[in-house]
Structure 1
Amino acid sequence: MEFEQSPRHLVAVFESPVAEALLRLGIEVGFRCTLVEPDPVRLQGLPRPHGDAFVGDLSTAEVTEYTDIVLTDHHRPEIGGTLKEALATKARWIGIMGNPKREGPHVGALRELGVPDEEIARVHRPIGLNIGSRTPAEIALATLAGLVADRNDRPGGFAF
């Protein structure tokens, strides 16, 4: 019997504790996982699991209509350009971490790059189910549960 790779693909952008948990748990729930980290200095130190693949640029992450992209840091200066690039792909779902009570810095960054409001609205924030997540693992769990519910057209949803 030949192993068939899952078409479900999770791309975690930016190395972070949340990205590490997303990739580790994502593999367990059937996602092919990729970490995108444009700054190789952030990967120095002890070896850590990074999913199935690591790339330095979103354009090399093999994004298809089965791909969910999650930016795991909303303070990075690259968020505007990265999200603009993500919005130009066939990605099924795009989201960025952040507090739903405040406008995210990605909105201004995308507007500065000339991205229209209807495209900006495609970026989901918050990224997980409303379970009161605080730790990186809880945020990853809530995010993956929301992605699975959304992918399966179930009411798990992202309502807050």
Structure 2
Amino acid sequence: MTVEPDACAVAHGAPEANPDARTLVAVFASPVARYLLTYAADLGYHTVLFEPDAARATDVRSACDIRTAMPSVDKTADVVVTDHHRTELGPVLRDALAQDARWIGVLGNPRHEGPHVSALTALGVPAVDIARVHRPVGLNIGSRKPAEIAVAVLAGLLADRNDKPGGFEF
């Protein structure tokens, strides 16, 4: 395996020559969102919590921007919905899909159809747009705890951003 010299320098603490501007929007305050935002900031993401209910946002103590309205996102943004049980799921995803996010995903059990499908269909969102929503999200590492789920999600986002399959395939 050949390692590029620039990669070694970065691994030893040198700043990246041309770091990509990256944003992670965690949708809905949750235990997973708390870890996701903390770890994402460590990875160089600009972190944003979108929580329409300001009272719920107090549980997230990460150094992130907190918004009660969906922030504007562009091709540098990854949007992760961290609670698929919220009644706002459909409208939130519809609004995210109307923007130019690089990647949109919803946490949830892959053995069941995600509730986002029926919520978006009921709002008249075309099937081609609904198909842009990733589910499941993250690498399949058997995550069960919120911190583990956050690690799996971020690893999956990094693999996708770098056009890699993730896992141990190189």
- TM over 0.5: same fold? yes
What aligned pairs does 1:102-121 form with structure 2 within 5 A after superposition? 102-121=112-131
SS at match of 1:89: coil
Larger Rg: 2
Q: 1:121 to 1:8 in 2, by over 3 A?
A: same
Alignment deviations for residues 120-160 of structure 1 (CA, whole Å, 9 cap, x no partner): 11000011100000000000000000000000111117xxx
1:16 equivalent in structure 2: 30
Aligned match for 1:38, one of 17, 42, 52: 52
Q: 1:127 to 1:8 in 2, by over 3 A?
A: same
**In the TM superposition, what is the alpha-carbon distance from 1:21 to its structure 2 partner?**
0.3
Q: Which runs of 5 or more structure 1 residues have no equivalent in the other structure?
A: none
SS at match of 1:95: strand
Alignment deviations for residues 57-111 of structure 1 (CA, whole Å, 9 cap, x no partner): 11xx231110000000000000000000000011000000101110011100000
Give the TM-score taking structure 2 as reference length. Answer: 0.84
One-letter amino acid matched to 2:41: I
Count of paired positions: 150
One-letter amino acid matched to 1:33: T
SS at match of 1:153: coil
Aligned match for 1:141, one of 127, 131, 151: 151
- The CA RMSD over aligned residues, in Å, is 1.6
**In the TM superposition, what is the alpha-carbon distance from 1:112 to its structure 2 partner?**
0.2
Rounded to whole Å, the distance in 2 between the matches of 1:63 and 1:134 is: 29
Q: Which runs of 5 or more structure 2 residues have no equivalent in the other structure?
A: 1-17
Runs in 1 of length 4+ with deviation above 3 angstroms? none
2:61 equivalent in structure 1: 49
SS at match of 1:69: strand
Rounded to whole Å, the distance in 2 between the matches of 1:43 and 1:37 is: 6
One-letter amino acid matched to 1:8: R
Rounded to whole Å, the distance in 2 between the matches of 1:90 and 1:144 is: 20
Rounded to whole Å, the distance in 1 between the matches of 2:99 and 2:19 is: 21
Give the TM-score taking structure 1 as reference length. Answer: 0.89
One-letter amino acid matched to 2:138: G
Contact 1:22/1:140 (8 A) holds in 2: yes
